[in-house]
Structure formats: C-alpha cells, structure tokens
Chain A
Amino acid sequence: MFAKLYKHRWQYLMIFPGVLLLLLFSYIPMAGIQVAFRDFQIGSSIWSSPWVGMDNFAFLDEPQFWTVVKNTLYISVLKFVFGFPAPILLALMINEVAHSAFKRFVQSVSYLPHFFSWIVVAYILQSVLTIDGGLVNDWIAKAGGEPIFFLGSTEWFRPIVVGSGLWKETGWNTILYLAAFTTIDPQLYEAAKVEGAGRFARIRHITLPGIVPTISIVLILSIPSLIAVGMDQIYPLMNSANMAVADVLDTYVLRSGLQQGYFGMATAVGLLSSVISLALVLTTNQLSRKINGEGLW
C-alpha cells in the first residue's frame, strides 16, 4: 500500500495545493454554515458562539423576505424566457449569412460585450439613459415627451436588466450552436435542395434538428441558475429608488450579512438558497439521465 502511494508521490504533491485550497475556501466555509444556528459576532469564534436553534430563521415570517424571493424568481424567469431563445435565433441568422468575411465580423463583434464587466455595462446604461443629456432622453425630449428617470424607476428596472443581459451575453452564447451547425452533414442540405426544399424548410427540418442535443444540454445547464440571479449584474444597477423590485436573494444576503452584521440570519438565507440550488442541480441531473441517457457527471 505504502509502496503504491510512494510510487505516486509526485502526483499527490501536484494535487495537494488544489486539495488544500478547496479545504480552506470551500470546505471550512461549509462547516461555517453552523453560524446559521448560532449567535455569532465577528471577532468571536464560531465554535464557542451560543446555539440559538432556529432563531436565525425568523426572516421566514417577514414579508420583506418573500418580496426578495419573488423579485429573484421574477428576474430569473424573465431572463430565461428572453435569454434562452435569443442566442438560438442569432446563431441561425449568422449561419445563413453567405458572405464569410461578414459572418466572421458579426461573430467577433457579438462576442465582444462578454468581455466587459457588469460595471462597464452599468456605465453604458448610465450614459445612454441618464436624465441630463443622455441619448435616449435626448430623443424623447426632441419628440416632445417628458424625460424618463430610467435608472431610478421600478417599472424600468426589469426591462433594463433583461435588455442589458441580452446585450452582453447573446452573442457569446451562440458559440455552442454555431459549433453544432458545423457537425451537420452538408449532404443533407444538398439532398434537400434537390428535393426542392426552400430555405425555411431546410432550417426547420435539418438545421434545427441538428442542434437539438445542444439545445437540450444548454437548457438543462441553465436550470440550476434559476435561483441565482447574477449579483454581479444587479448590484451595480440597484439604488434606493428601485430597491423594491431590485433586491434579490444575493443582494439581501450581502446587505444583511456583510453590511449590517446579521451574520446568523444572512447565513441562514444563504443556506436556504444553497439547498434549493443543490436540489435543482440533482433534479436536473436526473432529468439529463432520462433525456440524454447520461448524467451531467
């Protein structure tokens, strides 16, 4: 046994840093979940803080928490409804372009926004939508309308989140579909042409079926993220004026935990969403087994 371990000493030495980093930054924080059931103050030790049972879960009775849950689901469902079909549509359009240099250009440009942070996106939104001298309000004024305070309004918050999400990620998310198109046998198209099938018939009967496996994988992989609305995107856009619809689980945890110091309660909220997302992942895996015949791992 020891001889076998010694024989692989190099491999273990190489793996060790990864194992250690996960211990420090993943497993010890998992053990720290007990803070959800303790009265913990920063500066004291987790292990010696008094147990308080389910006291930290009192937020379940507060209407504010349920508003936050509603906001989270609202935004994630909206993002899914628009964000899932958009890349498929764009990929189909790009795929039909005959001029190959133009095709490459469109691809390059549409991937670009993926590489900017949500902070930069927030600046773009601010510059375009601001009330003093912003592009959109400029046009509204020229058309004789009243300026709209887009970034401080509850009605406009969700459209802005969905729209900026589409702007940033639609192009990037076409990559998998565009790759899937290249695996479709060109002879199928030739045969369809000979049979007299028009462009849209070819798209419907050859191109789309060809990417169904990819669509189902992307669909499956996006289910777990339904509970997590990107904090990265929401936080920079959130302000006191749109808070009522902008506050989602992640920002709620951030504010109550790191900013207001309710560690126990914030951990409890975090635990709840971790458990839900784990359940979603496991369900998804079962689903994937049934549909694709194999799990995600």
Chain B
Amino acid sequence: MRQKAGEKLFQVVLVVLLSLLCLTVLYPFVYMLAISLNEGADAAKGGVYLIPRTFTLINYEIVLGNEVIRHAYLVTIARTIVGTVAGLSVTLLVAFGLSYKGLPMRRTILGYILITMLFSGGLVPFYIQLNNLGLLNTFWVYILPGMFSVWNMFVMLKFIQGIPEALIESAELDGASPPRVLWQIVVPLSKPMLAALGLFTAVGHWNDWFAGAFFVSDQSLIPVQTFLQQLLSASDISAVLGSNTNQEALARSQMQNITLMSIKMAVVMASALPILCVYPFLQKYFVKGVLVGSVKG
C-alpha cells in the first residue's frame, strides 16, 4: 500500500516536471503570437504574455502585403520543392547503383564518397569554386552543391541492402533491367524511407539561411530565412516597409504605432507556422528516419 502511494507521488512529480518542460518549448511561440497580434507600441510597454491586449491584424497585413517577403516565400517554396526532388533522386540512384555487391570498383567508389565525409576544403575554396562555376547569385546555388547528401545516401544504401535479394533476383531472371527493378521493386518498398529522407531534406531547405546570405547578393533571390536573418539585426522598420505595396495598411500603420518588434514577430510567426502545422502529422516519419540512419551499417 505504501509503495503504491510512493509510485503515485513519483508519477505526479514526473508529470509536473515534464509538463513544465513542454511549457518552455511551446510558450515562446504563444508569446510571439500574442505580440504579433498586438499593437506594437502597446506591446512595448510590456505585460502582453498570453493573449493580445489590443488586438490587431495590422502586423500581418503589412508583412503579407510586402512584396519582398512574398517573393522570398516563392524562392523558399521553389528551392524546397526542386531541392528535395532533385536531392532525393540523386541519393536514391547512387544508393541503388551501389547496392549491387558485385559491381566492379564498388569499394573504390565507396571510398571516394566516404573521404568527403572526413575532410573538406573549407569554406573559402568552396566559395571560389562556386564563383568559378558561375553559381554565385543564381537560384542553382541553393540546389546543386547540396544535391548529393552522402549521409542520406548511406542510410538509403543500408535500407536497400535490407530488401530480400530473392525479390530482386527473380525480377532480373524475368529480364527486368536495373531501372525497372528500381522503379517496380525498390521504390515501392522504400516509400517510408524516402518519405523520411525527403522530409529531412525539405526541412533543411526550408531552414537554410546561409547560402542566401553569403552566396547571393541579389535581393530578389533570397529565401525567407535569409530575409529573417537580415531583419534580425535591422534597426528600423524601413527594411520591411520600404517596398510595401499595401499602401492602405501602410497609412494605417503610421497611426497605430507599429514597432519593429511587432513586425518581426509577425514575420517569424509566418515562417514558423507552416512547420508548426505539418509537424504533428509527419513526426512519425522523422523518427523512423533517424532510427534507420543510426543503426550502423
């Protein structure tokens, strides 16, 4: 009986601690949402913790009415789609090619790939090479350099090697060529794996700000995260309001005392919301991907 009470107390303490932890994860988003839905000047006085005190949508109207931001969204969406499809295709093709154990020079090619995980030329020679290839300041600088992920390839390779060989051999006996085997046997069987790797690649593209910040100078080519990075250290709102086409919102904003902080919160929420919305549905794929990748091959 005493043990049962102790057990109950232990569970209560555990639940309280873990709930607090969840709160520290979730609360910043609630706070930022509240600030972004509050009038800027009012929020700056402090005290807006949970729900907006003077509710307004003006911050979002300004952000979504801004051409630079809308354009940055298009760039982000385009690079996420193109980058994920291209990256997944290359990774799958290489992994499938290397899954043939009898392939001449297989070990040499594996070594050639592995070395790149151990040593790199560093940032500056990489930058010089991007310059020599004419990739700086083009959309392709987001796609090509990261298109072949060695790590994902090894995860995929391990997965393909786990497919029963008899399946592939019997298809080959029926005269199926490697592309056919890939398309009709390997791809259908690797769907969960492809989903996991695809999601990781997509999140990587969605979140990348570095390439946009250092390999691109044309403002019409920067993705949302790079825009956010530039805005992070901005000292006045002209960075956002400069090219606003939404004149009416702009005129109202002068009266409503919007602040840099409230605008910032609206931009960052607009970039975080898509991830917050899809995350609950896709979480299981992410976890699956990590677990397959972690088992040593």
Interface segment out of the listed A184-192, A204-212, A265-273: A265-273
Q: Which residues of A contact B49 (CB under 8 A)?
A: 135
Q: Within 8 Å of chain B (Cβ to Cβ): is A52?
A: no
Q: How distant is the Cα of A42 from the Cα of B132 in the complex, in angstroms?
A: 10
Q: How distant is the Cα of A57 from the Cα of B112 in the complex, in angstroms?
A: 30
A236/B229 in contact, CB under 8 A: yes
B265-297 CB contact bits vs A (8 Å, 1 = yes)?
100100110011001100100110011001010
The winner among A111, A117, A124 for most chain B CB atoms within 10 A is A117
Q: Which residues of A contact B209 (CB under 8 A)?
A: 117, 119
Q: List 28 A-B contacts (CB under 8 A).
A: A10-B178, A12-B97, A15-B109, A17-B148, A18-B91, A22-B148, A29-B120, A32-B121, A32-B125, A42-B128, A93-B14, A93-B17, A109-B25, A113-B25, A115-B279, A116-B275, A120-B228, A120-B272, A122-B232, A123-B228, A123-B268, A127-B264, A130-B261, A175-B287, A257-B123, A278-B119, A294-B296, A296-B296
B265/A127 in contact, CB under 8 A: yes
**For chain B, what secondary structure do more than half of its interface residues adopt (helix, strand, loop), or is it mixed?**
helix
| A179 CB contact (under 8 Å) in B121, B178, B291 | B291
A8/B103 in contact, CB under 8 A: yes
Q: Within 8 Å of chain A (Cβ to Cβ): is B254?
A: no
**For chain A, what secondary structure do more than half of its interface residues adopt (helix, strand, loop), or is it mixed?**
helix
Q: How distant is the Cα of A11 from the Cα of B210 in the complex, in angstroms?
A: 34
B interface residues, Cβ below 8 angstroms from A: 7, 10-11, 14-15, 17-18, 21-22, 24-26, 28, 31-32, 35, 43-47, 49, 90-91, 93-94, 96-98, 100, 103-104, 109, 112-114, 116, 118-129, 131, 133, 144-145, 147-148, 150, 153, 177-179, 182, 203, 206-210, 214, 225, 228-229, 232-233, 261, 264-265, 268, 271-272, 275-276, 279-280, 283, 286-287, 290-291, 294, 296
A115/B97 in contact, CB under 8 A: no
Given A10-B179, A123-B264, A281-B118, 6 extra CB contacts under 8 A: A24-B129, A29-B125, A102-B18, A115-B203, A133-B46, A267-B125
B93/A17 in contact, CB under 8 A: yes
A10-28 CB contact bits vs B (8 Å, 1 = yes)?
1111110111011011111
Q: Within 8 Å of chain B (Cβ to Cβ): is A110?
A: yes
Q: Within 8 Å of chain B (Cβ to Cβ): is A291?
A: no
A25/B129 in contact, CB under 8 A: yes
Q: Using a Cβ–Cβ cut-off of 8 Å, how many residues does chain A contribute to the interface with B?
A: 91
Q: Which residues of B contact A171 (CB under 8 A)?
A: 25
Q: How distant is the Cα of A28 from the Cα of B11 in the complex, in angstroms?
A: 57
Q: How distant is the Cα of A60 from the Cα of B17 in the complex, in angstroms?
A: 48
Q: Which residues of A contact B207 (CB under 8 A)?
A: 115-117, 119
B25/A270 in contact, CB under 8 A: no
Q: Which residues of A contact B124 (CB under 8 A)?
A: 32, 35, 253, 257-258, 263, 266-267, 270
B261/A127 in contact, CB under 8 A: yes
Q: Within 8 Å of chain B (Cβ to Cβ): is A143?
A: no
CB proximity to B under 8 Å, residues A138-179: 138, 141, 167, 171, 175-176, 179
CB closest chain-A residue, reference B154? A297
Q: How distant is the Cα of A109 from the Cα of B24 in the complex, in angstroms?
A: 10
Q: Within 8 Å of chain B (Cβ to Cβ): is A286?
A: no
A175/B290 in contact, CB under 8 A: yes
Q: Which residues of B contact A223 (CB under 8 A)?
A: none
CB proximity to B under 8 Å, residues A90-119: 90, 93-94, 96-99, 102, 105-106, 108-113, 115-117, 119
B232/A127 in contact, CB under 8 A: no
B119/A270 in contact, CB under 8 A: no
Tell me how far the C-beta of A159 lies from the nearest C-beta in chain B, rounded to whole angstroms: 15
CB closest chain-B residue, reference A26? B116
With contacts A19-B112, A32-B121, A119-B228 known, is A127 near B15, CB below 8 A? no
CB proximity to B under 8 Å, residues A271-297: 271, 273-274, 278, 281-282, 294, 296-297
B22/A110 in contact, CB under 8 A: yes
Q: Within 8 Å of chain B (Cβ to Cβ): is A33?
A: yes
Q: How distant is the Cα of A17 from the Cα of B148 in the complex, in angstroms?
A: 8
With contacts A30-B121, A110-B25, A254-B214 known, is A93 near B18, CB below 8 A? yes
B128/A270 in contact, CB under 8 A: no
Q: Which residues of B contact A111 (CB under 8 A)?
A: 283, 286-287
Closest 10 CB pairs of A and B: A270-B122, A32-B125, A29-B121, A117-B207, A18-B94, A14-B97, A10-B178, A15-B97, A29-B125, A14-B93
CB closest chain-A residue, reference B99? A11
With contacts A18-B153, A22-B148, A232-B210 known, is A119 near B123, CB below 8 A? no
Q: Within 8 Å of chain B (Cβ to Cβ): is A239?
A: yes
A99/B210 in contact, CB under 8 A: no
A97/B31 in contact, CB under 8 A: no
With contacts A4-B104, A127-B32 known, is A116 near B272, CB below 8 A? yes
Q: Which residues of A contact B232 (CB under 8 A)?
A: 119, 122-123, 126, 236
Q: How distant is the Cα of A111 from the Cα of B283 in the complex, in angstroms?
A: 9
Q: Within 8 Å of chain B (Cβ to Cβ): is A58?
A: no
A238-266 CB contact bits vs B (8 Å, 1 = yes)?
01000000000010011001100001001
